[in-house]
Structure 1
Amino acid sequence: MRDGTRYPDILVVDLLGGLGDLVMVLPVIHALARRNPGAAVRVLTHAPGDVLVESDPAVTEVVRAEKGDERAAVAAELDRRRPALVVSTTRHSGIPEEIESRGVRSVTNLWRNPPPDEQVSRRYLRILAAEGLVDDVDVPPSIHLTPAERVRGAATLADHTDPGRPVVLVPGAGMAVKHWPHWAALARGLAGRGTSPLVVTGDPAPGAWAEELARPLPPTGLRDLAALFAAVGDRGGTVVGPDTGPVRMAAAVGARTVGLFGPTAAARYGLGPAGVDLQGLPGCPHRRPTAITEQVCWWEARCPLAADGPACMADLSPDSVLRASHAG
């Protein structure tokens, strides 16, 4: 049922802590802005992801919360400027109760009753559509880049690659449970096909193979990295990496991606139609698509099926990733 109300001031709260979490809520921000033209749309989130929405035409203001102080940040923002509508992805730290206590129109549980095979972004939109708050239910995440950033991204890519379709590897997993152990083998396979891949360096460092078999990219800010990914997409290239924020960024600026999914289910956390999502060990009995943080392996990467790391990630063979990287 459509809610005919126009909300002049909207606060979107995403304090889940991950860069990828913010990317997945971008369709909500954009759908709310389309439904409420002229509204002030504020986004309360964490650094460093806050920079991804700073130039977005749909966003009026970005407010940053410090980690560990999320509820106080929400309270301060509600006091600073009372919104007409609050939409929040965040269930921890008493944040739903803080929002609901203010008596404003709000949706504070976008995680309710999720099907195991519906992508998170689409689920958010379906819930808000059921609440009558948005019209769109199938819009992929999209990061806005300025023309100047796109020019810089194309120049950086040209400085580090030969002509043709580039392949960029993103080995940094953020969490040990998402670490893929076959990067060196993939780089060798790409070299055998005449491709010298670029490698996004970071913490942890990718290892000696990155210097021997690839071209490491210099450290850069998130927006410049997003612009480089956009240039990869413009040249028909591919970004390869696990289910992490940077790879979600690549998909959200139009690059083709090859996503390496192990502990998370590709059916729920996949990167979208512009690439290939590969699922390691599809029949793992310990995977919980709708409650990933409750999985036995999640926090410490202790896999019940293998002593030397997540069996689901090791199950993704270098050959299968190589074939996906050169497809299309």
Structure 2
Amino acid sequence: MTRQGNTTADFGGRQDAARSVGPVLAPFEDIRRIAVLRGGGLGDLMFALPAIAALKDRYPAARITLLGMPGHAALLDGRPGPVSEVLELPVSPGVRPGEEDARAVDRFFASVSGSFDLAVQLHGGGRNSNPFLLRLGARHSIGTRTPDAVGLERSIPYVYYQHEVFRALEVVGLAGAVAQDLEPRVEVLPEEAVRAAQLTGPGPVVALHPGATDPRRRWPSSSFAEVAVRAAADGCEVVVVGDATDVPTAEEIVRLALRTDPTADVRSLAGQLTLGELTGVLDRSAVMVGNDSGPRHLAQAVGTPTVGVYWIGNVINAGAMGRSLHRVHFSWVARCPVCGVDVRQVGWTAERCEHDDSFVAAVPPDAVYADVAELRATSLLLRGR
């Protein structure tokens, strides 16, 4: 027996417990509609996919609705997988950033209230997301919880330094679901593969993504440019990808690379690709190099080898788990390079200082490119590209 809050339930069996991240409780009865709350960016969605797949395996007849973001819908709509539909979250504090419209929030809940048998909170520590989840009126609720958050029917403590994939899998264990996979899987559509072949040449492609939501996670443009030059010299086509916010940085990388070698096959696709096209280009790539960001996680999900540049704290929460196809380079920065404040206590436990200086600037391009070259050879063997 294991106790979660005020709820005591049986483990789901010795075999399930052995395959789980945390306790596996008895599954709920008569679950036909499941809501999963997971806002945030592309990477946040990737972290949730193994848990959603586990829910689908435990409740195969259930319809799973992701309460997420427009980008989530753009990626998942029409794509095979465990998510049946994506409902766009309204702007609400701590759930979706922006200027809140209380009437829009009320309309959202009026349209979905009472529709779900099980509501799953995979969105942070629950201070804001748990009250939001409970407004759905589901018969059962599970999720994470900080000490100051409203309780759910079954919950686990939210401890910041835990890998996000494992955190989500531990949550769904509360509903009897066990991991079927430890990595996100995104199936590339045939038309995306065709479009990627049109956007790139016939040779090996190395994709670079220089963006990250937090500027402190961004590797310098000069370091990306050095990798680009070396990859081009080794016969690769180098494409810099990203959204509209990444365009200036992508153009700077191309400019620096061409300054070093005017003949280098390096160009920017930043701001030019739909999410489907990005998925295809990442799948088409032999190796992808990026910061801790959504495109790197998406590249991993489509099966492309990656080299990630991380701050050490983010490795714990978001680093790739395997090393055969994924390499991680990280910095050990513990204090802000400008003001010296301790940056190890993050999340809700400490306020962020105002400085945006990179935590990962010291990661050496030589070491990164050594892994690019090695993984390119691995990719040629495994994927024939």
**TM-score category, normalised to shorter length:** 0.7 to 0.9
Could you tell me which of 360, 372, 376 is aligned with 1:325?
372
Q: Deviations over 1:45-74 (max 9, x none)?
A: 111222222123322221112434756476
1:58 maps to which of 70, 82, 88: 82
CA–CA distance in 2 between the matches of 1:104 and 1:83? 7
CA offset at residue 125 of structure 1? 0.6
- Aligned Cα root-mean-square deviation (Å): 2.8
Question: Is 1:30 aligned to 2:74, yes or no?
Answer: no
Q: Tell me, in whole angstroms, the C-alpha distance in 2 between the residues paired with 1:296 and 1:317.
A: 30
Residues 11-36 of structure 1: per-residue CA shift (max 9 Å, x gap): 11112x22211111111211111111
Question: Could you tell me which residue of structure 1 aligns to residue 215 of structure 2?
Answer: 176
The answer as to 2:286 corresponding to 1:230 is no
Tell me the matched-pair count.
Answer: 307
Cα distance in structure 1, aligned partners of 2:52 and 2:90: 21
Letter in 1 for 2:276: R
Residue deviations 1:168-218, cap 9 Å, x none?
Answer: 111122331122112222223333434341111542322344152412226
1:188 counterpart residue number: 229
Deviation at 1:76, TM superposition (A): 3.7
8 Å contact kept, 2:210–2:290: yes
Task: Give the match for residue 262 of structure 1.
Answer: 311
The Cα of 1:6 is off from its aligned counterpart by 4.5
Distance of 1:58 and 1:145 partners within structure 2: 15
Q: Which amino acid aligns with 1:227?
A: G
- 2:362 is aligned, of 303, 311, 315, to 315
Q: Distance in 2 between matches of 1:295 and 1:56?
A: 40
Q: Does 1:134 align with 2:177?
A: yes
1:108 counterpart (139, 143, 154)? 143
Q: TM-score, normalised by structure 2?
A: 0.71
Alignment deviations for residues 250-302 of structure 1 (CA, whole Å, 9 cap, x no partner) = 1111111111102642132113423111111266693437x44656657x444
Name the counterpart of 1:99: 133
1:146 to 2:189 alignment: yes
| 1:115, distance to aligned residue in structure 2 (A) | 7.3
- Higher-Rg member (1/2): 2
SS in 2 for 1:197: strand
> In the superposition, relative to structure 1, how do residues 282 and 176 fare at CA in structure 2: closer, same or farther (>3 Å)?
closer
1:20 to 43, 66, 69: 43
Confirm or deny: 8 A CA contact 2:209 2:240 kept in the other structure: yes
Asked if the contact 2:142/2:171 (under 8 Å) is kept, the reply is: no
Picking from 64, 68, 83, the partner of 2:116 is 83
Paired residue type of 1:288 = R
Letter of the 1:122 partner, please give it: F
Q: What CA distance in whole angstroms lies between the structure 2 residues aligned with 1:281 and 1:183?
A: 20
Offset of residue 246 of structure 1: 1.3
User: CA 1:127–1:64 in 2, change beyond 3 Å: closer, same or farther?
Assistant: closer
Q: Secondary structure at the match of 2:91?
A: coil
Alignment of 1:204-215 (within 5 A): 204=246, 205=248, 206-211=250-255, 212=258, 213=264, 214-215=266-267
Alignment correspondent of 1:306: none
CA–CA separation in structure 1 for the residues paired with 2:350 and 2:361: 18
For residue 299 of structure 2, the aligned residue among 242, 250, 258 is 250
SS in 2 for 1:125: helix
Distance, in Å, in 1 between the alignment partners of 2:268 and 2:242 is 6
Q: Distance in 1 between matches of 2:138 and 2:60?
A: 24
Deviates more, 1:242-251 or 1:141-150: 141-150
Structure 2 contact 37–66 (Cα < 8 Å) conserved:
yes
Q: Residue 172 and residue 49 in structure 1: after superposition, are their counterparts in 2 closer, same or farther (change >3 A)?
A: same
Q: Which moved more, 1:44-53 or 1:141-150?
A: 141-150
Distance 1:38 1:278 in 2: 42
The one-letter amino acid paired with 1:136 is A
Residue 205 of structure 2 contacts residue 284 of structure 2 at CA under 8 Å; is this kept in 1?
no
